[in-house]
Amino acid sequence: MKFTPASNILEYAEEQREKLAVQFFDAETVAEQISSASGNGFYHLRIAQDKPIDLQHTKYARHLTKALLKAGFKVEWLKCSVWECSGKRQVDARLVFTELSISWGETTRSGGEQATV
């Protein structure tokens, strides 16, 4: 069996991360989510991802972060982790990644004061 070069596989993985980032960090969608969260009385919004993949360094994340900061929002990348599973069983390892948290008011996060989408 011949393996595809690791550099090609890495490039493919990076392309897939960029595609995922489009789903989570589209500026128009995030603006709507912020409006919805603030309309419900929240000061924060955390964009929860459905896959434990660190998207912080993608183009879309960088562009969105710059736009949010320029508009006066506070941006924080929160460290998250989930248990890794192999098949149907949990293994003794955690997958660590970051999720975007955006705030426009109080800087103290606690309990239910943060909307999650």
- Largest Cα–Cα distance of the chain, in whole Å? 58
Residue 19 lies inside a defined structural domain of this protein: yes
Question: Looking at the domain assignment, is residue 40 inside a domain?
Answer: yes
Chain segment 89-109, per-residue pLDDT in tens:
767 788 889 999 999 986 555
Q: Compute, in degrees rounded to 10, the torsion defined by CA atoms 18, 47, 72, 105.
A: -170
Residue 1 in domain: no
How many distinct structural domains can be found in the chain? 1
Q: 27-74 pLDDT, tens per residue?
A: 999 999 999 999 999 999 999 998 899 999 999 999 999 999 999 999
Q: What is the per-residue pLDDT for 93?
A: 81
User: Which among 69, 56, 70, 71 is positioned nearest to 25, based on CA atoms?
Assistant: 56
Residues 12-28: tens digit of each pLDDT: 999 999 999 999 999 99
CA 55 – CA 7 distance, rounded (Å)? 19
- pTM beyond 0.85: the answer is no
Q: Which domain holds residue 97?
A: 6-116
